[in-house]
C-alpha cells in the first residue's frame, strides 16, 4: 500500500478511529452526551471524507477492497443512516438508566463492518466485514438485558446467524475449490463452464443461502419478526436498513459475476423473490404489533428488490439503489417515530399505542402516514417512484411473472398499511399516557426524512442522476 491507497480508505479508517476514540472516551469518562457526540462527529468526518476520495476512484486497494463510485455511494448511504440511528439512540436511551455508552461503540463497529462489505471484492474481506457486523449486532439486539424479549431476540439471532455463517463458509470453500481463486471477478471468467460447474453452482447456492439469512428473505426469514420486536427500536432500525443495505450492495457485486454462469441460480433467486413477496405480505395481515408489521413488510420489500436485481441490467442495478434509498428513508422514519413514542418500560410497538396519535401529535401522525403510504407505493412518495422504477426494469427484461406477483402482493400490502393509518386517526382511548416532548435532534432528523420522502417522491431527478452516475462503477 502507498499513500494514495491509504487516502482511498479514509472513510473506513475514520470509522475505525471513531471506534477507538469512543472506546477511550468511555474508559476516561462515562457520559451519554459525550459518547453520542463523539460518535456523531466520527460519522460526520467519515461522510465528508467521501468527497476527498471521489477524485481517486476507482482504486483497487490490495486484492481485498475496491474503492469505486459504486462503493462510495453505498458508503455514504450507510454512514448517513447510521448517524440518524445514533440520534434516535440518544433520545431512546436518555429514558433508560444504567450503562448506555457501549451501544455507540457497537454501532460504530457495525457500521465499519458494513463499510467493509460494500467495498469487498474478495472472500476474505467479505467474511471479515460480515463478522464485524454480525458480532456487533449480537450485542446491540440484546443490549437491554432487563427485557426478556431482548435476550430472546439476541440468542435467536446468535444461533441462526452462526448456522448461516456455516452455509456461507462451505459455499465459499466450494467456489474456491472449483475456481482456485477468492476474487469475485474470477467468476466472470468464460472458461468456467462445463465440468467446473459441478462445484461452482452448489457453492454459489450455499453462499446465497448465507446472504439470504442476512437479508431475511423466505425461507430464511424466521428470525426477522422476533428480532425486530425484541431489539431496542433504534437497533431494529439499524438492522432493517443499514445492515441490509450493505448486504444487498455486496450481493449485487458478487452475483453480478456469479449468476452469469447458470440459469439455475437465476431460477433459485426468482423463487426466493416470489416467496418473499407472498409470505411477507400475507403474514403481515395478521399482526397487531407495529414492529412485527414492519418486519414482515421488510421481507416483502426485499423480494421486490430481488425483482430489480434479476432484471440483470444497469437499469436494474439503478432501480435497486433507488429503492434502497427510499426504503432506508422510510423505515428510519417509521422506527424513529416508534423511538420517540417509547418509554423506559417498553417500546411503543403495539398498534394500540398509536391509536388517536393524530389528535395528540398531528405532525408526528402526518409523518407516520406519509411513511406508511410510501411503503404502500402511493404516488408523491419515494416508495412509489421506487416501485415504478423496479417495474420499469422488470419490463425492460421481460420479467412479466415477477412483475405480476409484485403488483398483486403490493395490493395486499396496502390493506395492512391503511389499517395502521386508520388507527392513527381513530379516537384516542380514555386515560392514554401523554407523549413526552421530542428531542431536538430526533425532531430534526424526522423532519429531514419527511422532506426527503416527499421531495424525492415529487422530484426524483437529482437522486436518479446521482445513482446513474455512480452505479456504473459496479465491477
The domain containing residue 374 runs over which residues?
Answer: 262-475
Residue 312, in any domain of the structure: yes
Cell numbers at 260, concatenated: 452469469
Cell numbers at 442, concatenated: 430526533
Helical (H) or strand (E) element with 99: none
Residue 73, in any domain of the structure: no
Residue 224, in any domain of the structure: no
- Pairing assessment for the beta strands 65-67 and 59-61 based on DSSP bridges: antiparallel
Number of neighbouring beta carbons within 10 Å of residue 459: 11
Q: Which of 5, 2, 248 is nearest to 114 (CA)?
A: 248
CA 413 – CA 375 distance, rounded (Å): 9
pLDDT recorded at residue 261: 47
pLDDT recorded at residue 257: 54
Residue 326, in any domain of the structure: yes
Tell me which residue has cell 401529535: 361
CB-based contact 107:84 (threshold 8 Å): no
CA 127 – CA 149 distance, rounded (Å): 29
CB-based contact 458:380 (threshold 8 Å): yes
Number of domains in the chain: 1
pLDDT recorded at residue 191: 58
What's the gap between Cα 49 and its chain centre? 22
Going residue by residue through the chain, which has 475 residues, state the pLDDT in tens, using 9 for 90 and above: 788 888 999 999 999 999 999 999 999 988 889 999 999 999 999 999 999 999 988 888 888 898 989 999 999 999 999 999 999 999 888 887 778 889 999 999 999 999 999 999 889 999 999 999 999 999 999 888 887 788 888 898 999 888 888 999 999 898 888 878 788 777 666 555 544 567 878 888 888 888 889 888 988 888 899 999 989 999 999 999 999 999 999 888 877 655 444 577 788 888 999 999 999 999 999 888 999 999 999 999 999 999 988 877 778 888 999 999 999 999 999 999 999 888 877 788 888 888 888 888 889 999 999 999 999 989 999 999 999 999 998 888 888 898 999 999 999 999 999 999 999 988 777 655 556 667 788 889 999 999 999 999 999 999 999 998 887 656 5
Residue 302, in any domain of the structure: yes
pLDDT recorded at residue 176: 86
Residue 281, in any domain of the structure: yes
CB-based contact 12:49 (threshold 8 Å): no
CB-based contact 102:23 (threshold 8 Å): no
Residue 119, in any domain of the structure: no
Tell me the CB-side half-sphere exposure of residue 208, using CA atoms within 13 A. Answer: 25
CA 290 – CA 2 distance, rounded (Å): 50
CA 420 – CA 372 distance, rounded (Å): 8
CA 352 – CA 373 distance, rounded (Å): 19
pLDDT recorded at residue 189: 61
- DSSP class of residue 429? P
Query: 183: which strand partners?
Result: 122
Q: What is the dihedral of CA 98, 101, 105, 108, to 10 degrees?
A: 120
Q: What is the dihedral of CA 359, 360, 361, 365, to 10 degrees?
A: -50
CB-based contact 331:297 (threshold 8 Å): no
Q: Which of 272, 143, 129 is nearest to 205 (CA)?
A: 272
Number of neighbouring beta carbons within 10 Å of residue 404: 12
Number of neighbouring beta carbons within 10 Å of residue 468: 15
pLDDT recorded at residue 279: 93
Residue 22, in any domain of the structure: no
Amino acid at each position: 500500500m502507498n499513500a494514495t491507497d491509504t487516502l482511498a480508505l479514509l472513510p473506513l479508517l475514520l470509522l475505525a478511529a471513531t471506534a477507538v476514540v469512543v472506546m477511550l472516551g468511555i474508559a476516561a469518562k462515562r457520559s451519554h452526551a459525550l459518547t453520542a457526540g463523539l460518535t456523531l462527529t466520527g460519522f460526520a468526518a467519515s461522510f465528508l471524507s467521501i468527497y476527498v476520495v471521489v477524485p481517486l476512484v476507482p482504486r483497487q486497494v490490495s486484492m481485498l477492497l475496491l474503492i469505486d463510485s459504486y462503493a462510495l455511494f453505498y458508503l455514504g448511504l450507510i454512514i448517513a443512516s447510521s448517524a440518524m440511528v445514533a440520534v434516535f439512540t440518544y433520545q431512546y436511551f436518555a429514558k433508560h438508566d444504567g450503562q448506555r455508552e457501549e451501544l455507540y461503540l457497537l454501532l460504530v463497529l457495525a457500521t465499519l463492518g458494513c463499510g467493509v462489505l460494500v467495498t469487498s471484492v474478495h472472500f476474505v474481506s467479505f467474511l471479515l466485514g460480515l463478522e464485524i457486523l454480525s458480532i456487533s449486532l449480537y450485542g446491540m439486539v440484546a443490549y437491554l438485558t432487563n427485557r426478556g424479549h431482548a435476550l430472546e431476540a439476541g440468542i435467536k439471532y446468535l444461533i441462526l446467524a452462526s448456522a448461516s455463517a456455516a452455509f456461507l463458509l462451505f459455499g465459499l470453500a466450494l467456489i474456491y475449490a472449483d475456481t482456485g481463486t477468492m476474487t469475485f471477478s474470477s467468476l466472470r471468467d468464460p472458461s468456467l463452464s462445463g465440468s467446473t460447474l459441478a462445484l461452482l453452482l452448489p457453492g454459489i447456492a450455499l453462499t446465497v443461502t448465507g446472504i439470504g439469512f442476512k437479508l431475511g428473505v423466505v425461507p430464511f426469514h424466521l428470525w426477522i419478526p422476533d428480532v425486530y420486536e425484541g431489539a431496542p427500536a433504534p437497533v431494529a432500525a439499524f438492522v432493517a436498513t443499514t445492515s441490509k443495505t450493505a448486504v444487498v450492495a455486496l450481493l449485487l457485486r458478487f452475483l453480478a459475476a456469479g449468476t452469469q454462469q447458470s440459469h439455475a441460480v437465476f431460477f433459485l433467486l426468482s423463487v426466493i423473490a416470489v416467496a418473499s413477496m407472498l409470505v411477507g405480505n400475507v403474514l403481515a395481515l395478521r399482526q397487531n404489533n407495529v414492529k412485527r408489521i414492519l418486519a414482515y413488510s421488510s421481507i416483502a420489500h426485499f423480494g421486490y428488490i430481488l425483482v430489480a436485481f434479476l432484471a440483470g441490467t444497469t437499469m436494474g442495478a439503478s432501480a435497486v439503489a433507488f429503492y434502497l434509498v427510499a426504503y432506508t428513508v422510510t423505515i428510519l422514519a417509521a422506527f424513529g417515530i416508534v423511538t420517540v413514542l417509547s418509554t423506559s418500560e417498553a417500546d411503543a410497538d403495539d398498534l394500540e399505542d398509536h391509536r388517536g396519535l393524530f389528535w395528540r401529535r398531528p405532525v408526528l401522525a402526518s409523518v407516520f402516514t406519509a411513511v406508511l403510504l410510501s411503503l404502500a407505493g402511493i404516488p408523491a412518495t419515494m416508495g412509489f417512484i421506487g416501485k415504478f422504477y423496479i417495474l420499469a426494469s422488470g419490463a425492460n427484461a421481460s420479467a412479466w411473472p415477477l412483475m405480476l406477483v409484485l403488483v398483486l402482493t403490493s395490493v395486499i400490502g396496502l390493506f395492512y398499511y391503511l389499517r395502521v393509518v386508520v388507527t392513527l386517526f381513530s379516537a384516542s382511548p380514555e386515560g392514554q399516557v401523554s407523549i413526552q416532548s421530542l428531542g431536538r435532534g430526533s425532531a430534526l432528523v424526522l423532519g429531514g426524512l419527511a422532506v426527503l420522502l416527499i421531495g424525492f417522491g415529487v422530484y426524483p431527478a437529482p437522486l436518479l442522476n446521482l445513482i446513474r452516475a455512480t452505479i456504473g462503477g459496479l465491477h
